[in-house]
Structure 1
Amino acid sequence: MSYFWGFSWEGLVVFILVMVPNLFYFWLPNSSESGRTPSKHLILDIIEHGSQAIFVLLLVFLISRHDSPLLSPYTLGMAIFLFVYYLLWIFYFRGYKTLTVLLGMAVVPVAYFILAEIWLHKGPAIVPTAIFGFTHIVITYIDYRVK
């Protein structure tokens, strides 16, 4: 067996780096929508959050017996995706809440996570990440059209 259960610092750091802008979303005044309406896509929300929980657990707690060199084409791609993701958040915080920005904010972190899962040899995490990505994109589009 090429996997075992444990704790992956790399997986945790990969996850935390994407979550940093989300903290500002909740901390900064007027960045999050107050008085949100109830979800019109409960089933999609359940699929989105369930698949997210699964891929994060696999990213952080599933350990591969294969080495993952810090400098690799995967980590370079991850750095580029992370940089683009942070730029999209800057656009968002500056009031550019276009469909392009919002969909970018849904697509880019998924690509980042898939590269991380390939880099860390966590193949089983790719399927729930792809499911999360698909539902996240659909929900983003639905929410944008409702507003």
Structure 2
Amino acid sequence: MDGLHSRDDASDRAGNVEAQLGEWATYGAQLRAWVGLQVDEHVARMLPGILDARLSPISETLMELHRHATSNSAAVERLQDRLDSELHRTELKLGTARLDAHGELVERTRASIAALETQEAPERSEDEAMEPSAVAVTNGNLVLTGSKGQ
């Protein structure tokens, strides 16, 4: 019976080894899961600080660029407002100058017509005494339509 007993012993030992291996495999899987959780927790705790440390200078630079761009934009808007205001004033001055020049031209023209009429008045009196003549105004010019001795 010794042979039977040794076979049972070997079978028991093999079963024990298999059971032990199964327990170790289970323990290994549990250990692996626990280590994974520990790593995930550590990364979750450390990563924000690392990212903040790395990204903070970039964020500050971006904020400074934004402030600078906003400041430049405001300066450009103020300059545009000043230019628009100056353009409006210049247009008003130009319009006033045009009106003044036109008024001055009209006054000079009237003065010239009056001077011509004053100069021609004695001549007309002589002409009218000698021969009737007509005066026409063409395009703002005085034109005598009759002449002496015709």
TM-score grouping bracket, smaller chain normalisation: under 0.3
Q: Of the two structures, which has the highest relative contact order with CA contacts closer than 8 Å and spacing of 6 or more?
A: 1
Q: Normalising to structure 1: TM-score of the pair?
A: 0.21
Q: Highest CA radius of gyration, 1 or 2?
A: 2
Higher helix share: 2
